[in-house]
A and B are shown apart, each in its own frame.
Chain A
Amino acid sequence: MDAHVTTAPRHEHAHPTAMLYAKVGLVLFVLTALEVGLYEITYGEHVGSMASAIKPFFVPMLLLLSAAKFALVGMFYMHLKQDSKLFTGIFVFPLIIATIIIVSLMVLMAYHMAFARSG
C-alpha cells in the first residue's frame, strides 16, 4: 500500500504493506487452528485412531507451532525483521536465558520430586 513515513533518524528498508500484515494474521489464525485441531484429535472430543500414534510427538509439534507464531509476531508485527538487529538481540538474549531457566527448573524439580522428597 503506501510508503511508510518513518520518524527515526535512520532510514529503514521497504516497509511491509497492509496486505502482508493481513497475510501474517491469516497464517497466525491457521496455526492456532492447527494447534487446537491437533489437541482435539489427540486428546479432545474428536479423538481418532491416530491419537496414540501422535501422542509422543504432540508436545514437540505444539511447541513448534507456538514457536512459529511467536516468530511471526516478532518478525513482522514487532518489525524485528526490518529494524536494527540490536532490537532482535535485546529480545532474543533474555529469551535464551528464560529458556535455560524454564528447562533447568523442570529438570531439577522433577528429579527432586522423584527421588529426594519423601512421600
Chain B
Amino acid sequence: MAAVAHEVPHGLEHATATGLDNRKLAIWTFIGSECLFFAALISNYLVNKGRSLVGPFPHEPWTSPSGEHFKPILEIPLVTLGTALLLFSSLFVVLALSGAQRGSRKALVGWLAATIACGVFFVGMQVYEFTHFVREGLTLKTNLFGASFFVLTGFHGTHVTIGVIWLVTLWILAARGKIPPSKSLNLEMAALYWHFVDVVWIVIFPVVYLIK
C-alpha cells in the first residue's frame, strides 16, 4: 500500500485535493457568505423604500408640516463620478496584480497606488455625501430612508475602507519589494475582495440612486 508523505509547508503552496490554493478558496468562500450579508441589507432597503413617514426623500421634494422646503436629497452626478472611479479601480487592481505576477514592481506599485487613490476618493465622496445629508436634515433617525440609506451605504463604505487599509498594507510591502511573483496570491486575495466590494456597489448604485 503506497503512502505519500505530505509536509505542512513554509508559506507556499502544497498539494491540495483540488489543486487550488487554500487561501484563494477561503477568500471566495468568504465572498459567497458576504453576498448574503449585502442581500439582507439590500432587502431591508427595498422593503422600506417609499415607506418613510416624513421627508427628506431621495427623489422627491418635500415640504415639512412646519413649512420647511427640502429638495430631493440624492446628488446623482457626484455619486456617478465615484461609481466610475470605483469601476476603474477594479481595472487598476487587476493591472497591479498582473504586474505582480510578472515580477514588474513598477507596474505593481503604480497601479496599486491608482487603485488606492480611487478607493480613497470613493470613501471621501461618501463622507462628503453623509455630512451633506446630515446638514440638509437627513439623519439615521429622521425617517426610514435615512436609516436604510446610511446603514446600507455605510456598511458598504466600511467594507471599502477595510479594503483600502488592506491595499495600503500591500502597497507598502510591494514598495519594499516584498511581493515577488511567488507571493502574488496575497494581492490576488485583496483584489478579489476589492472586486466584490465594487460588484456590491454595482447593485447598490441603481437600486438606491436610479430607481425611484
Contact = CB atoms under 8 A, between A and B. Distances in A.
A and B touch in their complex, CB below 8 angstroms: yes
Contact of A21 (B15, B87, B95, B103): B95
Nearest to A17: B98
B199 interface: yes
Given A66-B206, A106-B43, A106-B47, A94 B102 contact: no
Interface in B68-110: 76, 80, 83-84, 87-88, 90-91, 93-95, 98, 101-103
B31 interface: yes
Nearest to B210: A39
Query: What DSSP secondary structure best describes chain A's contact surface?
Result: helix
B29 interface: yes
Contacts of A1: 98
Contact of B20 (A8, A29, A95): A8
Residue among B18, B36, B59, B90 having the largest count of chain A Cβ atoms under 10 Å? B90
Contacts of B192: 78
8 contacts: A2-B98, A5-B101, A6-B101, A32-B87, A59-B211, A76-B94, A93-B32, A94-B35
Interface of A: 1-2, 4-10, 18, 21-22, 24-25, 28-29, 32, 35-36, 38-39, 43-44, 58-59, 62-63, 65-66, 69-70, 73-74, 76-78, 84, 86-87, 90-91, 93-95, 97-99, 101-102, 105-106, 109, 113
Given A35-B210, A74-B199, A97-B39, 4 more contacts: A18-B95, A77-B191, A78-B192, A91-B28
Interface of B: 12-13, 15-16, 18-21, 24-25, 28-29, 31-33, 35-36, 38-40, 42-43, 46-47, 51, 59, 76, 80, 83-84, 87-88, 90-91, 93-95, 98, 101-103, 181-182, 184-185, 191-192, 195-196, 198-199, 202-203, 205-206, 209-212
